[in-house]
Amino acid sequence: MIEVKTIWHYLTRYVDSFLLIGLVALMSVGLFVLYSATGANMARVSNQFVNMLIALVIMWLVANIPLQQIMRLALPLYLFGLALLVGVALFGEINNGARRWLNIGITRIQPSELMKIAIPLMMAWYFDKHEITLRLRDYLGATILLLLPVLLILRQPDLGTALLIAASGFFVLFLAGLSWRIIAGLLLTVSASLPVLWTFMHDYQRRRVMTLLDPTQDPLGAGYHTIQSSIAIGSGGISGKGWLNGTQTQLDFLPEQSTDFIFAVFSEEFGLVGNTMLLLLYSLVIGRCLIITANASTQFTRLIAGSITLTFFTYIFVNMGMVSGILPIVGVPLPLISYGGTSMVTMLLGFGILMSIQTHPKLVKT
């Protein structure tokens, strides 16, 4: 009995129990919804379950890494990710007109997913090194660190991922104390440059924006996703149609229903009540992450924890906004719910860093 307790203590000593329970609850919901979204396809559900187990193991391993080691990994991980993005630009595989994947022999990888963690880590490390003498030029240096991978990802093209990675980097800039005047100036500059940016957008990206304004102008083409997801959400009503009883889902009217539009499946089957419970689960996880951020002991841990938390919130907001028709369709999965292994691993890797921040002794600078 003592040995069992000792083993259990060893396995859980660097795990934040409250955060783990919230994550497992969300992933369990994801499996139930995926079963319905795939037409009771147990093979895909089993694959997703394996993805979750792998992601949880990676989260546990990262949670056990001391904070000093995580700091030392920031620069090598960033440079490695940048090199992979250059490799994609030179040798990447083209799929549906986009060059986003790199074949490394045994498998294909999408380096932009790695940068979702590498960029906040690198920028947090950079600001921690310049904490004592932080000046405007340091913010410019951090911005350059952010722009290099973002521009490479835009070149693929992958506007959705580029915007989300840019957001994760911006959160670090904001939490590091970037002046509100500078932020307002940047927003005004971006707003003023929108006509110019429009000319550089690809045709499919322009169609997504126009579809947001009026999806009925192309109901069987660009507007189909938005119209069908809106019907699914609306038809769910207050209490939903019940698990496995969503007509938009089961009759295959809803596109990408196991990945980007899985929230529409959930809304149709569980309605407003289910959505409220799902948002409550997300809120509990985000709330716990904010507590970890507030308790962080150094500049580095505060910045990385805050960026991971706000990026997680951004993913939720963008996906739900996209599915409900208030944001353009940018191909963002619903965190911990949508089918997919890469996004699951990346997300839980970030939560592993948060657990390491919470459970390890205070970081001592070396």
Q: Does some domain include residue 306?
A: yes
Let me know if residue 364 belongs to a domain. Answer: no
Asked, for residue 220, whether it belongs to a domain, the answer is: yes
In a domain, 97, yes or no: yes
* 7 within domain boundaries: yes
Picking from 99, 206, 113, the residue whose alpha carbon sits closest to that of residue 165 is 113
The answer to whether residue 331 sits within a structural domain is yes
Contact between 167 and 179 (Cβ < 8 Å)? no
**Residue ranges making up the domain that contains 193:** 2-359
Tokens of 328: 């353009």
pLDDT of amino acid 366: 45
How far apart CA 247 and CA 216 sit, in angstroms, is 21
User: Any idea what DSSP says for residue 101?
Assistant: E
Please report whether residue 366 resides in a domain: no
Q: What is the pTM of this model?
A: 0.90
User: Would you state the pLDDT for residue 244?
Assistant: 86
pLDDT at 353: 94
Low-confidence ranges of the chain (pLDDT < 50): 364, 366
Residue 49 lies in a domain: yes
The closest alpha carbon to 347, from 33, 5, 58, 1, belongs to: 58
Number of domains in the chain: 1
- What is residue 357's predicted lDDT score, i.e. its pLDDT? 92
